Structure 1
Amino acid sequence: MRGSIASLYLACATIAAAVTGTPALAYHAPVEAVKVALADPINRNRDIAYETDLYCLALAVYFEGGSTDETEEGQRHIAHVVVARARANRQIWGGNKICDVVFYKRAKVCQFSFACLPLAQRTVRGGKAWRYSMDIAREELEGRSGLEERLLRYYMNASLTPSKNACRFRKEFVPVTQAGRHEFFREPTRAERRELEKADHAECKAYEASLKKKKHAKNSKSKKDGKLAKARGKTDKVAVAKKQPPKKVTVARR
């Protein structure tokens, strides 16, 4: 139920933006603007469900692809992955609603990173880039993207991904294609998964090297701190010895 309300709210945000000329916000719209938009008879015949899907998918394209200056091909593939996840209707991806998939969060981690940004950083200001994202989203929803279904479900920009996460991708998913700055993956069979786990991946080697480097740095610091502590201890002993008064020598009298 909560997902349906969120989807309706997003659709209202789209309508409000169109009617009032206000910027489209990711998961946010002025309540009064929404009321005004829905009160207009022209809007009563609009396909709210479609506009909701379009709006959310365009947000994913705009922020996921636009933030990395992605090519048109790459952005089309990103839209393709979002829609494919919704059609798969899996809870681990947020279910079968485009908006629920785009804004899905688990254990405080957003499925699509932009959704966890502060509102000011995920506010669409309109312009050419937004219209471009809307066109890509519309063509994907209407089956006019020209991309064939290859079970694409994941993507990664290797140049922006930490070696730990990149290693996980290499071990868990099968690479299918490179589109723009992103590489796109599908889920493996059991046999493929075993092979992926055995393979030597450059990202995994880089991650292991970084762990060794951190461990070495930690050990070196511990040794250095130990030497300093030992030297400090000797210095303290000398200082204490100097502060002590000289011992009195008692001479025995006969």
Structure 2
Amino acid sequence: MGPVVDDSLLAPMTATDTSAANAALAASLPADIAAAAVGTPAAATPSTPLPPYKLAQLVSDMGNATDLAEDEDLRCLASAVYFESRGEPLEGQLAVAQVILNRVESGRYANSVCGVINQPGQFSFDRSRTPAVGVDWRRAQAIARIAAQDLWRAIAPRAVSFHAARLSPGWRGKTRIARIGNHVFYR
């Protein structure tokens, strides 16, 4: 079994990582939300960076600005997260999004997020369905933004495949790297 991943393992970040994540987050959010999300406490100065985010807090902050109507690839990514990993731990949802983005970058799959998701036999969800408006959809949109903007470190580094833990696809030549929630990830 691969490592169990949770916020306590992933959240510690260097001051440089924290500054970069805070800057990326601030740049991606409307000004009023960015001020609340990233904040600038009186005690924070360039020499004393803000404490690192927990993934749940970053998802919550990103969930306040999640209209993806204008970006087809982000909407495809959020839909895949929603249908493939809704109900999984946040780290598992993010790992699913990162797998899709890793496929786009690999050159072995389609060269767009929607292209990867729509390749036959790659994902189990019905692409004609529409996510239900609500907390799960807002969370999936936030996870898609976090993954696409590379705001969190790789959950299952370089993974390009995953399956439900209850299945045994018998994949040969793949290296199992993590089990997160009910999914097993491979590179």
The alpha-carbon distance between structure 1 residues 132 and 148, as it changes in their structure 2 partners (threshold 3 A), is: closer
Q: Which SS does the other structure have where 1:70 is aligned? A: coil
Q: Is the 8 A contact 2:91 2:155 kept in 1?
A: no
Q: What amino acid maps onto 1:58 in structure 2? A: A
Aligned equivalent of 2:75: 55
Ranges of 4+ aligned residues in structure 1 off by more than 3 Å:
none
Report matched runs for 1:184-195 at 5 Å. 184-186=185-187
Aligned equivalent of 1:104: 119
User: What's the TM-score, normalizing by structure 1?
Assistant: 0.44
Q: Is the 8 A contact 1:70 1:181 kept in 2?
A: yes
Unaligned runs of at least 5 residues, structure 1: 1-45, 187-254
How much does 1:81 deviate?
0.1
Q: Does 1:81 align with 2:81?
A: no
Q: Does 1:127 align with 2:134?
A: yes
Q: Which SS does the other structure have where 2:126 is aligned? A: helix
Unaligned runs of at least 5 residues, structure 2: 1-67
Could you list the per-position Cα deviations for residues 200-227 of structure 1 after superposition, in whole angstroms to 9, with x for gaps in the alignment?
A: xxxxxxxxxxxxxxxxxxxxxxxxxxxx
Report matched runs for 1:2-81 at 5 Å. 48=70, 51-66=71-86, 69-81=87-99
Q: Does 1:137 align with 2:137?
A: no
Q: Percent identity?
A: 32
The alpha-carbon distance between structure 1 residues 125 and 72, as it changes in their structure 2 partners (threshold 3 A), is: same
Q: Which SS does the other structure have where 1:147 is aligned? A: coil
How much does 1:154 deviate?
0.7
Q: Which SS does the other structure have where 1:102 is aligned? A: helix
Q: Is the 8 A contact 1:61 1:78 kept in 2?
A: yes
Q: Which SS does the other structure have where 2:104 is aligned? A: helix
User: What's the TM-score, normalizing by structure 2?
Assistant: 0.59
Aligned equivalent of 2:163: 156
The alpha-carbon distance between structure 1 residues 184 and 148, as it changes in their structure 2 partners (threshold 3 A), is: closer
Report matched runs for 1:167-246 at 5 Å. 168-169=170-171, 171-186=172-187
Q: Which SS does the other structure have where 1:183 is aligned? A: strand
How much does 1:62 deviate?
0.1
Q: Is the 8 A contact 1:103 1:115 kept in 2?
A: no
How much does 1:173 deviate?
1.2
The alpha-carbon distance between structure 1 residues 71 and 47, as it changes in their structure 2 partners (threshold 3 A), is: closer
Q: Is the 8 A contact 1:136 1:145 kept in 2?
A: no
Structure holding more helix per residue: 1
**Higher Cα Rg, which structure:** 1
Higher normalized contact order (CA 8 Å, seq sep 6+, divided by chain length): 2
